[in-house]
Amino acid sequence: MAQEEKERIIIPDENGDEHLFDELFKFTVDETEKSYILLTPVGENEEDEEGETEVFAFRYEDKEDEENDIALFPIETDEEWAIVEEMLNTFTEEEE
């Protein structure tokens, strides 16, 4: 079975250094019509001491004028974090 090619995203930090991330998965919440993306860092110690992979979550919107380009926004509310955590837990269970 061929492994699905994952999307890679480059995100600059506050110093302008670029970091490469693998897309874990994307999802959209029907009630709010907001879309979220979960990313994992590429190449940096895939797992920490507890054997857990660091996951970064963002709300995203497709940029209408550019193909395959998205704008990322920080997740700011507890409600959004709860939704993201629930989706991540579901995704993690399916991967095992």
Q: What's the pLDDT at 88?
A: 92
Write the secondary structure of the chain as one string of H (helix), E (strand) and C (coil): CCCCCCCEEEEECCCCCEEEEEEEEEEEECCCCEEEEEEEECCCCCCCCCCCCCCEEEEEEECCCCCCCEEEECCCCHHHHHHHHHHHHHHHHHHC
Q: Is the pTM of this model over 0.75?
A: yes
Per-residue pLDDT tens for 27-41?
999 999 999 999 999
Domain chopping of the chain, boundaries? 8-95
Profile the chain (96 residues) by mean pLDDT over runs of 10 residues: 67 90 94 94 64 86 77 94 94 78
Q: What's the pLDDT at 1?
A: 45
Q: What's the pLDDT at 47?
A: 55
